[in-house]
Structure 1
Amino acid sequence: MDRSLRKLEHIRHALSAQEMEGSVFDDVRFVPNSLPDSRYADTSLICDLGPFRLSSPILINAMTGGAEQTTQINRKLAIIARERGLAMAVGSQMAALRDPTVRHSYQVVREEHPHGIIFANVGAEATVEEAQAAVDMIEADGLQIHLNVMQELLMPEGDREFRGYLERISSIRESVNVPVIVKEVGFGMARSSIQELVGIGVDLIDVGGKGGTNFARVENMRRTEPLVMFEEWGLSTVESLLEASCATGLTTQFIATGGIRNGYDAAKALALGASASGIAGAMLKCVQTMSLEECMEAVDMWHHQIRIVMTALGVKRVSGLSEQPLLITGKTAELARLRGISLERWAQKK
């Protein structure tokens, strides 16, 4: 199938492939502070992600591009990012590297957000030359390399060859002229994969857990014979962050993407060790169903919710959330037990 048509099918199915059941973020609770000695006006959302100084810990994560009809979606997303000071990633640019006629569907982001932090995006099958071309295409500040093995296996026209990923990621990281983020696409990451990436010098990892858009379900919607048993594949974002806590190098930072429904979930992800929270599915729903002004109001509300948490806990800076004790229960706690992850240290922080 033509890549442009595939991109349109992905957009069409994405909203109906959102997880509808309770989120694993509901397994995470803050320990309240009745004497926070704080003031809402003193809270700041400014934070650091590697070399990037962000005005918000929320970033608009990779969604789309590669078809003329997706240009307007990316234009709206870029306007929201510009008006609310958010970093933004484009969807996979592999389509534009193969077909230059769809490049504008990505370049529109830089046109609308000329001074913002923008991340390019390629698959782990990309060559060094393709990765640099993706960066140059949108004058990107960083590059996401996405991993989506299960999605490719379920995609009727997807890849079936996954050898050499780690070596290519290493070559790209060493060669391109911007920082590299390695990103899982909705299936989460175990500590072994994280440790392998840390071992080749990757400093920024997006754990991309299950809980948001279910890309196995998206591909099953496109199949004549769906393989529905694989729709439960992977680790949640919370589980992946717990895995990361056992596997990281001293300099590695994490982005939490997957199933973040609001600012409260984003604050929980930050408390679990993420440096930023990526939102994709919820933002796609905004631009598909609401006005630009309503979308920006939604971002304002997410920011407000994060600052409520910070004020209630007596935290002035986003980085301070990671010092707060957390209670982790339910299925997440059971998986942590099976994986040998101690939850007591989370509950006894500070």
Structure 2
Amino acid sequence: MSRSARKVDHINHALLTGQALSHGFEDVKFVHNSIPEINVDEINLSSKIGELTLSSPIFINAMTGGGGKETTKINQQLAEVAAETDIAMAVGSQMAAIKDKEQQPSYTIVRKVNPKGMVIANLGSEASIDQARQAVEMLEANAFQLHVNVIQELVMPEGDRNYAGTFKRIEELVHKLEVPVIVKEVGFGMSQETIKRLAAIGVEMVDIGGFGGTNFSKIENKRRDRQLRFFDNWGIPTTASLLEVHHANTCIDVLASGGMQTALDLAKSLALGARAGGFAGYFLKILKEDGQEALINEITDLKEDLTMILTALDVKSPHDLTKVPLVFSGETYQWACQRGIDIQSISTR
């Protein structure tokens, strides 16, 4: 199967498999504040991650590109939504366009329709510095997302099988690329051990891509004759992964993704230390089923809902949510206990 055909295949299977919603957000609860002393108009949703300033902590995470007209249309629609709602947008892996220039329009359309927006380029961990620069130049990108997707590649019939030298390539990109670099998991979460190794080589931003959203093992298994089902439930749930980052105690700034669908999910992620939250499969489903206007309305509602949640918790900004106490239960609590993660300090802050 050609790379471009595979891109379309991924979109169709992503919509078919949906999201598992085993992210762990139901295990996290805010401690209610009965008497907040704040005005809704005082809320400022702007967020800063590394060198990047976002108008709100909501962004469209990497989804597609490189699949001809169908993915061009999706990226155009998403970029128009991003421009209308003033949120950042990441594209899917651009390797298809680097290897086949005919696929470039499916990516360049993003900057064409959103000339002033925050746009994030994307390649896999096999990318060289020259390829990364091509990806950034293609979009005039504000940042570069380097995705790591070992489980997806292992399940993918035609996936990569050699991962030697990945940390060395990441280190080179971080120090030589002219825009900020975000290391992103694609749905299996990041452990504290991985975070510490990334911090040691100079990584300043990660997207933990927790388990619980779009499941790329299930997607790739649908494309296999003999399925590797043991990977379908593999990974670290989103909330547990955010706790792993917290426990790693590095200076890395965190983006959260992995099954996020509501402002409450986002608020919990921010309270667990994330600077912003990426929505992918949920936004794609709305776009494909109900259209652009419905997605614009949903993003507008998410901003309004987040404002209400911050007001109820008596904080003026997304980052201030890290001062709000949380209570944990279920699998997230069990994960934290067995991994030696101090959640008491979060519950009593």
TM-score (norm 1): 0.98
Contact preservation (8 Å) 2:17, 2:219? yes
- Give the Cα separation in 2 of the matches to 1:130 and 1:144: 13
- Give the Cα separation in 2 of the matches to 1:193 and 1:82: 34
- Give the Cα separation in 2 of the matches to 1:303 and 1:61: 17
The superposition leaves residues 228-269 of structure 1 with CA deviations (integer Å, 9 ceiling, x where unpaired) of 12101010111111000111323x100000011111100100
For structure 1, the residue ranges without an aligned partner over 5 or more in a row are none
The superposition leaves residues 2-51 of structure 1 with CA deviations (integer Å, 9 ceiling, x where unpaired) of 10010010000002222345541000000000011112121111111111
- Letter paired with 1:309: I
Contact preservation (8 Å) 2:120, 2:141? yes
Corresponding position of 1:314? 314
Corresponding position of 1:144? 145
- Letter paired with 1:8: V
Corresponding position of 2:74? 73
Q: 1:253 to 1:173 in 2, by over 3 A?
A: same
Give the alignment of 1:266-285 within 5 angstroms.
266-285=266-285
SS for the counterpart of 2:184 is strand
The superposition leaves residues 51-104 of structure 1 with CA deviations (integer Å, 9 ceiling, x where unpaired) of 111111011000000011200000010011101110110000011111110001
Corresponding position of 2:2? 2
Corresponding position of 2:289? 289
Q: 1:270 to 1:279 in 2, by over 3 A?
A: same
- Letter paired with 1:236: P
Corresponding position of 1:98? 99
- Give the Cα separation in 2 of the matches to 1:159 and 1:41: 50
- Give the Cα separation in 1 of the matches to 2:231 and 2:292: 35
- Letter paired with 1:142: A
Corresponding position of 1:179? 180
- Letter paired with 1:34: S
Give the alignment of 1:6-25 within 5 angstroms.
6-20=6-20, 23-25=23-25
SS for the counterpart of 2:183 is strand
Instruction: List, as ranges, runs of 4+ consecutive aligned residues in structure 1 with deviation greater than 6 Å.
Output: none
Contact preservation (8 Å) 1:62, 1:90? yes
SS for the counterpart of 2:135 is helix
The superposition leaves residues 252-295 of structure 1 with CA deviations (integer Å, 9 ceiling, x where unpaired) of 10000001111110010000000000111111112111121111
Contact preservation (8 Å) 1:141, 1:179? yes
- Letter paired with 1:72: K
- Give the Cα separation in 2 of the matches to 1:196 and 1:21: 29
- Give the Cα separation in 1 of the matches to 2:302 and 2:188: 24
Corresponding position of 2:258? 258
The superposition leaves residues 174-222 of structure 1 with CA deviations (integer Å, 9 ceiling, x where unpaired) of 1111010000000000011111110011100000001110110000111
- Give the Cα separation in 2 of the matches to 1:157 and 1:220: 12
The superposition leaves residues 276-334 of structure 1 with CA deviations (integer Å, 9 ceiling, x where unpaired) of 00111111112111121111000011111211110001111111011100011101100
- Letter paired with 2:139: I
- Give the Cα separation in 2 of the matches to 1:305 and 1:258: 20
- Letter paired with 2:213: G
Q: 1:302 to 1:257 in 2, by over 3 A?
A: same
- Give the Cα separation in 1 of the matches to 2:111 and 2:44: 27
Aligned length: 348
Q: 1:319 to 1:168 in 2, by over 3 A?
A: same
Give the alignment of 1:229-244 within 5 angstroms.
229-244=230-245
Contact preservation (8 Å) 1:194, 1:248? no
Contact preservation (8 Å) 1:198, 1:248? no
- Letter paired with 1:14: A
Corresponding position of 2:36? 36
Corresponding position of 2:248? 247
Question: Which deviates further from its counterpart, 19-28 or 56-65?
Answer: 19-28
For structure 2, the residue ranges without an aligned partner over 5 or more in a row are none
The superposition leaves residues 100-128 of structure 1 with CA deviations (integer Å, 9 ceiling, x where unpaired) of 10001000000011001101001110111
Corresponding position of 1:202? 203
Contact preservation (8 Å) 1:36, 1:312? yes
Corresponding position of 1:213? 214
Contact preservation (8 Å) 2:20, 2:259? no
Corresponding position of 1:334? 334
Alpha-carbon RMSD across the aligned residues, in angstroms, is: 0.9
- Letter paired with 1:183: K
TM-score (norm 2): 0.98
- Letter paired with 1:297: N
